[in-house]
């Protein structure tokens, strides 16, 4: 059963400008693992913008409540490159109350826009 669906888009240029203007923003929004590729290189602004869109889409799939912590939702990548969601803390607690059993995530970035779709399934 589908419990919620969320979608979000982010302008890659605006997101890159925000990160450059406020260097601590990256630390506030993303876990250390989200900010770097498995090779150790920093993720591109496009990749980070897609991960930000995923966190926003996740909140929408949960009904857009207040009080969710950014680090309590982490976008991870399987060895194949497929993105997944790992939730803890505030996000996991709300997901448990809503009886979310699994997450589906799709990320994309093209033509200056990053997007994400999240489906919460019970």
Q: Over the Cα atoms of the chain, what is R_g?
A: 14
Neighbouring-strand partners of residue 5: 119
Q: Per the structure, how many domains does the chain have? A: 1
How much is the pLDDT for 39?
A: 86
For the stretch 43-61, what's the b/e string if a residue is b when 16 or more beta carbons lie within 10 angstroms of its beta carbon? Answer: bebbbbbbbbbbbbbbbbb
Contact (CB, 8 A) for 4 and 63? yes
* CATH code of the domain containing 7: 3.90.470.20
| Beta strand 2-11 pairing with 113-121 | antiparallel
Report how far Cα 104 is from the mean position of its chain's Cα atoms: 12
DSSP symbols for 40-100: SPBPPHHHHHHHHHHHHHHHHHTT--S---GGGEEEEE-TTS-EEEEE-HHHHHHHHHTT-
Helix (H, G, I), strand (E, B) or coil at 122: coil
pTM of the model: 0.94
Domain region containing 37: 2-121
Average pLDDT per 10 consecutive residues for the chain, totaling 122 residues: 97 97 94 91 96 97 90 94 95 96 97 98 96
């Amino acid at each position: 059963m589908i419990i919620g669906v969320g979608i979000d888009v982010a302008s890659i240029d605006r997101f890159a400008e925000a990160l450059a203007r406020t260097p601590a923003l990256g630390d506030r929004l993303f876990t250390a693992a989200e900010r770097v590729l498995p090779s150790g290189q920093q993720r591109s602004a496009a990749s980070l913008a897609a991960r930000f869109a995923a966190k926003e889409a996740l909140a929408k799939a949960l009904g857009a409540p207040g009080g969710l912590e950014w680090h309590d939702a982490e976008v991870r990548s399987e060895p194949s490159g497929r993105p997944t969601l790992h939730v803890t803390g505030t996000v996991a607690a709300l997901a448990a109350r809503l009886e979310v059993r699994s997450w589906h995530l799709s990320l994309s970035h093209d033509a200056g826009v990053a997007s994400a779709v999240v489906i919460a399934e019970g």
